[in-house]
A and B are shown apart, each in its own frame.
Chain A
Amino acid sequence: MASLIAGGVDCDVHPAVPHLTSLLPYLNDYWRDQVTTRGMVDLVSQSYPQNSPITARPDWRPEQGKPGESVADMQRHVLDPFQLKHAICNPIYGVQMVFSEDMQAAFCRALNDWLAKEWLDRDARLRGSIVIPTQSVEKAVAEIERCALDKRFVQVLMLVMGDTPLGKRALWPIYETAERLELPVGIHAGSAYHNPPTAVGWGSYHIEDYVGQAQAFQTQLTSLIVEGVFAKYPRLKMVLLESGVSWISPYLWRLHKFWRGVRMETPWVDRAPLEIVRSNIRFSLQPFDAPPEPQTLIRLFDHMQSDELVLFSTDYPHWQFDGQDALPEGLSPDLVRKIMIDNPHATYPRLK
């Protein structure tokens, strides 16, 4: 494996909300009463069943509770051993699954306040992502503006599978706000399960949902590019988190070919998709979905024609690699430095 260097930025770690009741202190009286009176249960998404092998590495699994629910564990498992300067917390809690926009907004607000108090306050290396109630664009924008006052929030966070494709114009005020406040928009694996988790319907298995995340990212990238998000908001950065990376180039070859063929349909897309990706889209490293052969890895990075696309991540506590082997074999020291330090800093202005 390639050697890690100190002072890196881990762009995808997952602090776990122990239980919905952990958010009660951050809810107002009405919502606290709703949660308790209605007997609401914990919001665990099917994307990450608590005991699934992919949800936590065996040696990162606590004896009790959810993997990733303790700051001390995160320090001991990643922040210290990987000698990180920063880690960006992306809470994957099922607040996106609820259908009421009011309830979603209340839970998102509570989640963001919980993150600031229970995590960001406890370790100066940690940075946060603003989870937004995407069902209401107005409320999502308000939540971004509210949280952005705290400079430790460095990104807006959305799920790759929600109610509509992410490029849809109705969502653009979110992107306008993010661009204005120098917040990249992180798109993380996972579904609100408001649509079937594949474009050909509901599969039978958890493994199918997980494999399918990569296809979901592909369709969202198409939507974001062809709707013209980056023509309208050229400074907006988007980071695809836990997306996989080996699909990027072949996907772009295909999109490029069709764009050349039918660009009359979306004339505002005035740059080639590959150029848009190079300037506006980034990808987190893990899960690194290529075989463990340096020769293949070198070719995959050659295909990308850029050393700026990939950002370091451990995906803690998800089980993507063992030991310290977060960096696949075959990366040159220069590329390791770009991935671990330069690229994240170029992507997240608030890390300065």
Chain B
Amino acid sequence: MNIQFRENQEAASPLTVKTAIADCDIHPARATRTELYPYLAKRWQHHLEVYGVHAYQGMMEGPPYPKAQPNASRRDAYPPEGGPQGSSLAFMQKQLLDPNNVQLGVLNPLNTGQGIRNHELSAALCSAINDWQIDKWTSKDKRLKASIVVGNEDGLSAAAEIRERAGDKNFVQVLLLSRNVEPLGQRRYWPIYQAAEEAGLPVGVHAFGFGGNPITPSGWPSYYIEEMVGHSQCQQSALASLVLEGVFERFPKLKMVMIEAGFGWAPSLAWRLDKTWQRLRSEVPHVKRPPSEYIREQVWWTTQPMEDPESREDLFDVIKWIGWDRLLFATDYPHWDYDEPSRVLPAGVSEANREAFYLGNAKKLYGVS
């Protein structure tokens, strides 16, 4: 939530170093409109100046539903040197990484080259943002790791981008968004999963994106809150598609991370999939095992925005049903619905589960020591 934080003086003291954590959802931003130009061919610089970006939604600038805050970000996260929230490494270090003792921070750049109707431009922008992540962020702070952003609607060029970056230790995952032209299990996206599996990289599916489909299966709603809550329904439909199209069966080493869409829905979805599959499995013979088994073995969830029921026992039930080994702590910095590390997990969690939740699961999944 959008709370004004006081500067944390204690963090500087070696006597009060906090337990190390991983933050699996950090959003780095560009300080200026043209910050990517050095990584783009002249042709695309010209294109952007003349035509701009045409996403699968009507607005030339900004989101279709106005956010609750400028840039959907904390008002205290503007860097002192100027630029939007999340655009300064120095300020991110000071506000997020150092005081919270973030040992691993996974970058998920948004508003990049994804969800764009011109697929060539999409590929060029994604490649540029990947170079930019190294230059501006991961090469300058070894705690930070990048995500390979790929042009989501063209599976072949996306796979080429993954293969080009494979083996580069700056990158720990491939990044997709949940909303695309088709549900994520569809064959047009399979080259992405194949390349990711070959590269040994998890595929993160971050809430959001544009694919031209209304964010409810009954048309466009009115409010930003409906879009926000709706991301978890989109994520559920995307995951159901991945299971039912047989993506996990076909790519058994593929690992998927559901990012920023909550996790409370996961047990119910898995139960519903299992129950329905019992009845209708003859339609999908390529789904050989109960859906919940694929989900249990091949899917992880980032925590923010954490579900916070009145009773912590309710939360613990849901986490137990998902598995304590499947959750990856995330703050969503610098966005307004940021989860503060010290406050998200109630008391009553074993030391081993707490360590797995905050750090261990992420290090293991992303192969970072």
Contact = CB atoms under 8 A, between A and B. Distances in A.
A212 interface: yes
Nearest to A53: B279
A226 interface: yes
Contact of B236 (A202, A204, A215, A291): A215
A212 B224 CA distance: 22
A160 B233 CA distance: 14
Interface in B275-298: 275-277, 279-280, 282-284
A219 B216 CA distance: 6
A253 B309 contact: yes
B68 A222 contact: no
A205 B244 contact: yes
B357 to A, nearest CB: 18
A200 B222 contact: no
A200 B276 contact: no
Nearest to A54: B279
A341 interface: no
B267 interface: yes
B228 interface: yes
A336 interface: no
A207 interface: yes
Given A218-B233, A303-B317, A200 B223 contact: no
B364 interface: no
A203 B216 contact: no
A257 B179 CA distance: 22
Contacts of A246: 267-268, 271-272
A246 B318 CA distance: 11
Q: Which of A162, A164, A208, A249 has the most CB of B within 10 A?
A: A208
Contact of A265 (B219, B224, B280): B224
Interface in B307-333: 307-310, 314, 317-318, 321
Contact of A200 (B182, B218, B262, B265): B182
Interface string B227-263: 0111011101110110011000000000000000010
A195 to B, nearest CB: 5
A30 interface: no
A266 B229 CA distance: 14
Contact of B314 (A215, A249, A258): A249
Given A204-B186, A207-B284, A303-B314, A199 B216 contact: yes
A1 interface: no
Nearest to B273: A211
A201 B181 contact: yes
Interface string A294-306: 0010010011010
B138 interface: no
B269 A222 contact: no
Q: Give the size range of A's interface with the partner.
A: 35 or more
A166 interface: yes
Contacts, number: 237
B214 interface: yes
Contacts of A164: 218-220
Contact of B271 (A53, A194, A208, A290): A290
A191 interface: yes
Contacts of A191: 217-218
Interface string A240-271: 00001011011101110111111011100000
A199 B265 contact: no
A206 B224 contact: no
Interface string A175-193: 0000000000000000100
Given A161-B218, A163-B218, A199-B234, A265 B223 contact: yes
Given A164-B218, A208-B241, A249 B309 contact: yes
B349 interface: no
Contacts of A302: 314
A287 interface: yes
B3 to A, nearest CB: 11
Interface string A213-246: 0111011101100110000000000000000101
Given A162-B218, A207-B244, A250-B265, A261 B226 contact: no
Contacts of A287: 272, 275
Given A53-B279, A246-B268, A250-B265, A203 B183 contact: yes
A207, A220, A247, A261, most chain B CB atoms within 10 A: A207
Interface string B128-172: 000000000000000000000000000000000000000000000
Contacts of B59: none
Nearest to B241: A203
Which of A199, A204, A251 has the largest number of chain B CB atoms within 10 A? A199
B23 interface: no
A262 B68 contact: yes
A258 B305 CA distance: 9
Nearest to B267: A246
A52 interface: yes
B348 to A, nearest CB: 16
Interface string B189-222: 0000000000000000000000101111111111
Which of B237, B269, B273, B305 lies at the interface centre, i.e. has the most chain A CB atoms within 10 A of its CB?
A: B237
A196 interface: yes
A269 B268 CA distance: 27
**Which of B230, B279, B284 is the most central at the interface, judged by chain A CB atoms within 10 Å of its CB?**
B279
A200 B271 contact: no
A200 B269 CA distance: 16
B268 A289 contact: yes
B225 interface: yes
A252 to B, nearest CB: 9
7 contacts: A165-B222, A196-B213, A205-B244, A222-B225, A222-B229, A246-B267, A305-B310
Given A165-B219, A210-B276, 6 more contacts: A198-B183, A199-B179, A199-B234, A207-B244, A254-B229, A258-B229
Interface of A: 52-54, 160-168, 191, 194-208, 210-212, 214-216, 218-220, 222-223, 226-227, 244, 246-247, 249-251, 253-255, 257-262, 264-266, 287, 289-291, 296, 299, 302-303, 305, 319
Interface of B: 1-2, 68, 178-186, 211, 213-226, 228-230, 232-234, 236-238, 240-241, 244-245, 262, 264-265, 267-269, 271-277, 279-280, 282-284, 305, 307-310, 314, 317-318, 321, 336-337
10 smallest CB-CB distances across A and B, nearest first, come from A250-B264, A219-B216, A198-B237, A215-B233, A247-B268, A246-B268, A289-B272, A207-B280, A253-B307, A164-B219
